[in-house]
């Protein structure tokens, strides 16, 4: 199915309807709630990546630090 404007609008309406049913809100608040959900998802993703990068960095520092002391 090609992604033309009609398909995108239908998909957008489905998302809005699902969010409205899940959080039980009226139509004028749906866009704001979707923005908050997206922002929270972005924040969680960034925090996970930062935690992962910190963990990798600490592991590499430990490995290369340990190797440097052996020489």
Distance CA 9, CA 7 (A): 5
Please calculate the CA angle 28-43-10 and round it to the nearest 5 degrees: 40
Position 9 pLDDT exceeds 50: yes
The backbone torsions φ and ψ at residue 26, rounded to the nearest 5 degrees and listed phi first, read -90, 165
Q: What is the pLDDT of residues 12-50, one digit of tens each?
A: 899 888 888 888 887 678 888 888 888 888 888 877 777
Q: What distance in Å separates the CA atoms of residue 43 and residue 61, rounded to the nearest whole number? A: 26
Residues 19 and 30: beta-carbon distance below 8 Å: yes
Determine contact, residues 23/37, Cβ cutoff 8 Å: no
């Amino acid at each position: 199915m090609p992604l033309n404007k009609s398909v995108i609008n239908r998909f957008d309406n489905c998302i809005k309807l699902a969010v409205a049913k899940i959080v039980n809100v009226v139509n004028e608040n749906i866009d704001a709630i979707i923005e908050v959900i997206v922002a929270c998802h972005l924040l969680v993703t960034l925090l996970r990546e930062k935690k992962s990068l910190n963990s990798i960095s600490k592991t590499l520092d430990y490995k290369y630090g340990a190797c440097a002391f052996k020489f």
